């Protein structure tokens, strides 16, 4: 056994790369690198319903953009590969069988419907802990074989002791004790043959020789399952270290609904990569001397994980913006800024996609900037009176904006055709003509009543920027609707069959 420090970031490729991923990458990276260790990227794509290659590519590109590099990963390989869990299914099967043999796990043939009903029943009876009832745990060997040979769908669940406590030794938090009666007999292997997070990450972390798991505190409650698995396998668990969660302004965990969370949004806004890293380095951590502006290098020279504070920091875009401005003013040369601008949106690819939208309506080259300004700006400026024409109340407008925002979340492919279709359905739903309906979005998304073609623009702008401008629009109208109204809206939307 060697004692090299090895840390990892293990994102799941389901959607836009999250700033929290960069946050934890930063600390995993710095922690490992300041101790001559290695930092590994592993893609956790065992959820084959939601995982996409596109999202994986975006994660890799966002991480690269941020300035964090990794020693081993799906794109560069390494001695412990493959680094994509979907390519390791045979490994998980093998280890799952070991568990099965040891009776540390068992086959479960319960249908999702049954699971659902026992869960509901338990909740109705206000059971202190809602969990699997162990129905399949005591099936006889014959029963199991019979069901297996009948091809009855099954999952594999882990066995959890009925009593006793698990002690998590957390690098920052000391000992955390959790009783086993709180721990569910988690599914390890899904009926589609893919492992769940718990099995896959434990097996991989061990096989990849991960020495320290630095992850969000949301994982604390399921850590006993992981420790139990290490125990069943006879492996020494790595050191656990649970970081605080980045928060929304209302202190809840940073979420898409309440904040821009995607790295691509900040990139698109014009936050410099080194500023994002610097700012994230200020979340829960501070330089010994109190300096607020520092490079990754400087952070590493002064890093001490024990300086980490554990209360969840609110992600404050104002301060991030201030830091960005300070960098531009104090750290960059004119040439640096030019370089950044080019890499940002003044590159051939982006310019071409914009030109594609306005070739027909460009009379003079000098019209370019005024016409395309929304394609380069952050939040558009407009008079909210523009929105209030058409005899719609503020509440009507907010309803429309909220509904659209949520409908957009359901969209699997962000392109003009799908958007066109969606907007038609939405206009219909609100009993409005598309022309009237879309006018609202011309204003909210571009700040103007007359602009480039809407759906084409939205495609070029990207979902993150569009979402954010709509949220901004809602705030221009005095903020979101009340909780109850929102709930009503959401259930109404779910009953609506969009697409």
Partner RNA sequence: GGUCCCAUCGUCUAGCGGUUUAGGACGUCGGCCUCUCACGCCGAUAACACGGGUUCGAAUCCCGUUGGGAUCACCA
CA–CA separation, 443 vs 420, rounded Å?
Answer: 17
Specify the DSSP element, H or E, that contains 239.
strand 239-243
Least Å from the CB of residue 174 to RNA: 7
Least Å from the CB of residue 209 to RNA: 19
Strand partners, 303: none
Task: State which residue, 119 or 416, has the beta carbon closest to RNA.
Answer: 119
DSSP 8-state assignment for residue 73: B
Task: State which residue, 288 or 360, has the beta carbon closest to RNA.
Answer: 288
Q: Give DSSP secondary structure letters for 204-269.
A: HHHHTT--EEEEEGGGGGGHHHHHHHHHHHTPPP-EEEEEPPPB-TTSSBP-TTTS--BHHHHHHH
Active site residue 435: no
Least Å from the CB of residue 316 to RNA: 4
Catalytic residue among 256, 326, 421, 448: 256
CA–CA separation, 404 vs 93, rounded Å?
Answer: 43
Least Å from the CB of residue 127 to RNA: 8
CA–CA separation, 139 vs 494, rounded Å?
Answer: 39
Q: Spell out a b/e string for 49-81, using b for 16 or more CB atoms within 10 Å of the CB, else e.
A: eebeeebbebbbebbebbbbebbbbbeeebebe
Least Å from the CB of residue 292 to RNA: 5
Backbone φ and ψ of 239, nearest 5°: -80, 130
Backbone φ and ψ of 480, nearest 5°: -65, 160
Task: State which residue, 135 or 251, has the beta carbon closest to RNA.
Answer: 251
Task: State which residue, 312 or 374, has the beta carbon closest to RNA.
Answer: 312
Task: State which residue, 197 or 441, has the beta carbon closest to RNA.
Answer: 197
CA–CA separation, 6 vs 346, rounded Å?
Answer: 38
Query: Within 10 A of 290 (CB to CB), how many other CB atoms are there?
Result: 6
DSSP 8-state assignment for residue 77: B
* Residues marked as catalytic: 256
């Amino acid at each position: 056994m060697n004692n090299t420090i090895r840390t990892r970031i293990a994102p799941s490729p389901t959607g836009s790369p999250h700033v929290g991923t960069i946050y934890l990458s930063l600390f995993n990276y710095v922690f490992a690198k300041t101790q001559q260790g290695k930092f590994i990227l592993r893609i956790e794509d065992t959820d084959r319903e939601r995982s996409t290659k596109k999202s994986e590519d975006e994660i890799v590109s966002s991480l690269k953009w941020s300035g964090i590099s990794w020693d081993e990963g799906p794109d560069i390989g390494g001695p412990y590969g493959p680094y994509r869990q979907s390519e390791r299914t045979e490994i998980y099967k093998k280890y799952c069988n070991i568990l099965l043999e040891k009776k540390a796990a068992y086959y479960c043939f319960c249908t999702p419907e049954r699971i659902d009903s026992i869960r509901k029943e338990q909740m109705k009876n206000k059971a202190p802990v809602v969990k699997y009832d162990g129905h399949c745990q005591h099936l006889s060997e014959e029963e199991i074989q019979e069901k297996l040979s009948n091809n009855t769908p099954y999952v594999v669940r882990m066995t959890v002791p009925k009593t006793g406590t698990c002690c998590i030794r957390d690098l920052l938090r000391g000992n955390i004790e959790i009783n086993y009666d709180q721990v569910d007999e988690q599914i390890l292997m899904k009926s589609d043959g893919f492992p769940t997070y718990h099995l896959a990450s434990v097996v991989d972390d061990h096989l990849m020789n991960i020495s320290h798991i630095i992850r969000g505190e949301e994982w604390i409650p399921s850590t006993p399952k992981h420790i139990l698995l290490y125990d069943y396998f006879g492996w020494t668990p790595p050191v656990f270290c649970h970081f605080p969660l980045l928060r929304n302004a209302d202190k809840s965990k940073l979420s898409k609904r309440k904040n821009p969370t995607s790295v691509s949004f900040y990139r698109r806004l014009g936050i410099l990569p080194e500023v994002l890293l610097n700012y994230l380095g200020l979340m829960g951590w501070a330089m010994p001397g109190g300096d607020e502006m520092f490079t990754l290098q400087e952070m590493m020279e002064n890093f001490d994980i024990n300086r980490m504070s554990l209360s969840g920091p609110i992600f404050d875009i104002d301060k991030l913006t201030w830091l960005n401005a300070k960098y531009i003013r104090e750290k960059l040369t004119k040439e640096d800024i030019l370089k950044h601008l080019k890499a940002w949106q003044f590159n051939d690819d982006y310019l071409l996609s914009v030109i594609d939208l306005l070739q027909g309506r460009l009379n003079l080259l000098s019209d370019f900037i005024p016409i395309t300004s929304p394609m380069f700006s952050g939040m558009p400026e407009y008079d909210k009176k523009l929105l209030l024409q058409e005899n719609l109340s503020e509440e009507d407008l907010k309803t429309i904006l909220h509904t659209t925002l949520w409908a957009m979340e359901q969209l699997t492919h962000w392109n003009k055709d799908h958007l066109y279709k969606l907007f038609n359905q939405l206009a219909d739903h609100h009993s409005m003509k598309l022309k009237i309906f879309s006018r609202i979005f011309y204003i909210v998304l571009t700040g103007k009543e007359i602009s480039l073609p809407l759906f084409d623009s939205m495609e070029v702008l990207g979902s993150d920027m569009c979402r954010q401008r709509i949220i901004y629009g809602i705030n221009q109208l005095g903020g979101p609707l009340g909780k109850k109204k929102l709930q009503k809206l959401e259930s109404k939307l779910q009953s609506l069959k969009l697409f």
